[in-house]
Structure 1
């Protein structure tokens, strides 16, 4: 998956949706002053920044495997411990945090079960582990679903994220329970983002970020043109309001 990209490219592509989702996730988890929280797969630091606003930089830590994201998060959030690490091998002692959060990361973990077990390990007994995943397939309700519907219309049977872990109802809950988490519950978190024009919506897909960026990068100019025309037929010239839903699982360590 193409996540070894400039932080600004990620901001334009997914940050526009992950920022409001971070608000919803924090409302669901409810960290309070004095607690310590780990952001797993922090990217350039969208959720991390929200955590700092609530808890202060000395109560927040973050990890990501992509060097450009780690560097960006360190520059943007001085005082936060940001480590280059995979979810499956977290560089922290047992019972270090009150909460461990993974926003839009589980579907892209090399081993989601191992990643969640590590999140449970570094969370104190009774603390919270939480994760979100978009339902982004062509037939789904994620913010990228309109893009994948356009892909399906132009290229029937093409990849559309449907095979990623966490896309289906109950996926995250099953993973959480398999990782030994207790009192697991599922919520649906919904965000709405308005784009002033079709071009504003489309341009970030050309930045090479994630599976959608991979797909566009593989197309020749004619293929990109066909996809762009089809997406514009579906969405119009703008303004375009995208409503996206994410599955959210919350459990106790």
Structure 2
């Protein structure tokens, strides 16, 4: 899957949605000052940046040098390298959600923004997030409403299905259906699970600004576009353009499912 890409490519593809989503997600998770938080699947740092803005990079306390207030981990070498440059000195590690390299009860909260649906084993990943979170702490995750057709990529996948009805989109990924993310947290052993919808709106100056990032090879959508021959790619581009009716500028509103539970 196309996530070993430049951080800039991911930023132009998804950052315009994930950055405003991070603020609403942190609010939903109830992350207050003085908390130590792990960003699981941190990518180039959309959620990490919001956490650092609110919490600072390190705790202030009586320990020499303090402890990290915010830490991040991601399986993409390119994203880890970019986050280390973006957040110098912050503890950013290479690794997977299913095998977190931290001791038990290391954090007050563990968050996963737009990650659970790409985990090899979502329940195992959420269990690991719970393991590294102290008793009474919070584990929270959010995933775009791909199954309900309200995600930021929904206009793209609708156009794909018009031309290629058998194409595999992202609607079957874990957590993409209403209630499913909360069920995954419950199976992973979290208690007091609460669910919500989070909404963000992004403005595009024109169609080319919206379309070009799909050609960067990011994620399942980018993989799909890269697999098309030039004629089919142009046909898809035209189909997507027609969906926006030539409006410039235009807004895209996206909804994410969110769920949080207690360890």
For 2:240 and 2:149, locate their aligned partners in 1 and report how far apart those are by CA, in whole Å: 16
Q: Report what 2:89 is aligned to.
A: 79
User: Counterpart of 1:199 in 2: which secondary structure?
Assistant: helix
Kept in 2, the 8 Å contact 1:87–1:115? The answer is yes
Q: Report what 1:60 is aligned to.
A: 70
Q: Deviations over 1:168-221 (max 9, x none)?
A: 111111110000000001100000001010000000000000000000000010
User: Counterpart of 2:101 in 1: which secondary structure?
Assistant: coil
Matches within 5 A, 1:117-136: 117-136=127-146
TM-score (norm 1): 0.98
Which of 207, 218, 224 lines up with 1:215 in the alignment?
Answer: 224
Alignment RMSD (CA, Å): 0.9
For 1:30 and 1:52, locate their aligned partners in 2 and report how far apart those are by CA, in whole Å: 15
For 1:158 and 1:67, locate their aligned partners in 2 and report how far apart those are by CA, in whole Å: 29
Structure 2: gaps (5+ residues):
59-68
Q: Report what 1:35 is aligned to.
A: 35
User: Counterpart of 2:152 in 1: which secondary structure?
Assistant: coil
Q: Report what 1:18 is aligned to.
A: 18
Which of 150, 162, 176 lines up with 1:153 in the alignment?
Answer: 162
Q: CA deviation at 1:87?
A: 0.1
Q: Report what 1:177 is aligned to.
A: 186
Does 2:45 align with 1:45? yes
User: Counterpart of 1:214 in 2: which secondary structure?
Assistant: helix
Does 2:18 align with 1:8? no
Structure 1: gaps (5+ residues):
none
Which of 113, 122, 129 lines up with 1:103 in the alignment?
Answer: 113
TM-score (norm 2): 0.94
Kept in 1, the 8 Å contact 2:146–2:177? The answer is no
For 1:183 and 1:66, locate their aligned partners in 2 and report how far apart those are by CA, in whole Å: 32
Q: Report what 2:262 is aligned to.
A: 252
Kept in 2, the 8 Å contact 1:57–1:78? The answer is no
User: Counterpart of 1:119 in 2: which secondary structure?
Assistant: helix
Q: CA deviation at 1:108?
A: 0.3
Q: CA deviation at 1:242?
A: 0.4
Number of residue-to-residue matches in the alignment: 252
Kept in 2, the 8 Å contact 1:189–1:246? The answer is yes
User: Counterpart of 2:173 in 1: which secondary structure?
Assistant: coil
User: Counterpart of 2:149 in 1: which secondary structure?
Assistant: coil
Kept in 1, the 8 Å contact 2:39–2:48? The answer is yes
